[in-house]
Amino acid sequence: MPPDGYAPGARNRSAGPGEEPKQESDMTRILTEPRAAGIAPTGRVQAAGRAIGHWLVAMCGMVIVMVLLGGITRLTDSGLSIMEWKPIMGTLPPLSEAEWERVFALYREIAQYKHVNAGMDLAGFKAIFWWEYFHRLWGRVLAVAFAVPLLWFWFKGHLGRADLKRLVGLFLLGALQGFAGWVMVASGFQDRVQVSQYRLLVHLMLAVAIFALMLWYALDYLDRRELGGSRQDAGTLFRHARWMNAVIAVEIALGALVAGTDAGFIYNDFPLMNGHWLSPDLFTLSPWWINFTENVATIQFQHRLFSGFVAIAVISFLVRLRRRDVDRVLKLRAIALPCALAVQAFLGIATLMLVVPISLAVLHQLGAFVLLGSGLVLQHGLKRRLKGEA
């Protein structure tokens, strides 16, 4: 039985003399009150929570598509084809031959055209323009697909204060991601023939952060299954999962450096590097520390090397999971980890040895998000069991 004075959809708070009792939505109450209060969520609140969770999962998918479009844009050298940043007016592509000629003239002024694509005609320019255009257009669609449902859930009273804050924070992080993308593109307008690998790194890792936070928040709404097993073992595995996911994120960052410097187009044998276990070109730049971000030999080697650390982190986690007292549901979910790791390793090696075909390179990017997402699902479940949540 509900406690005295409780009515679905509202809860009376203490009011001062002469004040009307303040009302609070079901969702706000469920998200802010301890479960120990014994008030079960109504069917409407549960449905709203599932809707929010499914919406966030869909947004995760859209973020992955955004990253894949960005990868194609980078591999086709399309990123510098649009020289203007018009968040609103840029939604429309050139609609006349005169406008096409104008934007093509802007592109002919930069170093990439002069040193890489000299002699390109308008048809060739259009081929690279459309990839960058669709990448930016998808970013605008993503922003609308996030903002409109967010406003709707808020208007309907389905968001608690804490949830509203973190979802608005996600939206602002997405806006920062868009700005970082423009700053990255602008780095190629002067003396460079491609964008700065440092800015590309920031751009990609912001996308990784947005994806990870969205998935985590979605699981807060959707992953409500009761979990058994030892809390102590769950705590041990949770800490391992947290470090495992951090290692995966670092490997993704190192992959951004590979993409930003075209380091995948050299040393296309494996496991050797042009017949050497350690390339003689690893530390040829001075000072020595810039080799890690500017020497293509070192950049590729560290990406190869760190993939071994990812494998160690994942395999050791699986071994510990098998030996610990945790819920069978988590052990079943863990099956995705070795599968994702094996596929990702295969895609990485194949992409390298076949000299970076676009299809395999894009699948390799997708594999990184699948691997990270699999790890985050396990980490989230372990955290719930550690806290004793249902």
Of residues 142, 216, 143, the one with CA closest to residue 377: 216
Q: Is pLDDT at 37 greater than 70 in this prediction?
A: no
Distances (CA, A) of 327 to 218, 334, 338: 21, 11, 19
Q: Read off the tokens for 330.
A: 């988590």
- Terminal alpha carbon distance of the chain: 20
DSSP 192: -
The stretches of the chain forming alpha helices (DSSP H) are 26-32, 43-75, 97-107, 111-115, 122-155, 161-186, 197-222, 231-261, 291-294, 296-323, 328-333, 336-353, 358-387
Q: Give the C-alpha separation, 306 to 301, whole Å.
A: 9
Instruction: Give the model's pLDDT for residue 377.
Output: 96
Q: Whose structure tokens read 């998000």?
A: 369
State pLDDT tens for residues 147-159: 999 999 999 888 8
The pLDDT of 34-61, averaged and rounded, is 71
Q: Read off the tokens for 90.
A: 């840029």
For residues 356 and 348, is the Cβ–Cβ distance under 8 A? no
HEC profile of 126-153:
HHHHHHHHHHHHHHHHHHHHHHHHHHHH
Reported residue count of the chain is: 390
The pLDDT of 237-249, averaged and rounded, is 96
Across all residues in the chain, what is the average pLDDT? 87
Specify which residues 337 forms β-bridges with: none
Exposure class string for 321-333: b at 16+ Cβ within 10 A, else e: beebebbebbeeb
pTM: 0.86
276 a known binding residue? no
Q: How confident is the model at residue 138 (pLDDT cuts 50, 70, 90)?
A: very high
Q: Read off the tokens for 146.
A: 């996030």
Q: Count CB neighbours of 253 within 10 A.
A: 16
For residues 226 and 328, is the Cβ–Cβ distance under 8 A? no
Q: Read off the tokens for 27.
A: 């969702």
Instruction: Give the model's pLDDT for residue 243.
Output: 97
The sign one gets for the Cα dihedral 321, 224, 388, 163 is positive
Q: Is pLDDT at 20 greater than 80 in this prediction?
A: no
Report for 79-88, 111-120, 143-152: range of highest mean pLDDT? 143-152
115 a known binding residue? no
Q: Is pLDDT at 350 greater than 90 in this prediction?
A: yes
Q: Does 297 or 388 have the greater pLDDT score?
A: 297
Q: Give the C-alpha separation, 232 to 385, whole Å.
A: 10
Q: How confident is the model at residue 47 (pLDDT cuts 50, 70, 90)?
A: confident
Instruction: Give the model's pLDDT for residue 359.
Output: 95
- Which residues have a Cβ under 8 Å from the Cβ of 364 and sit 6 or more positions away? 255, 344, 347, 348, 351
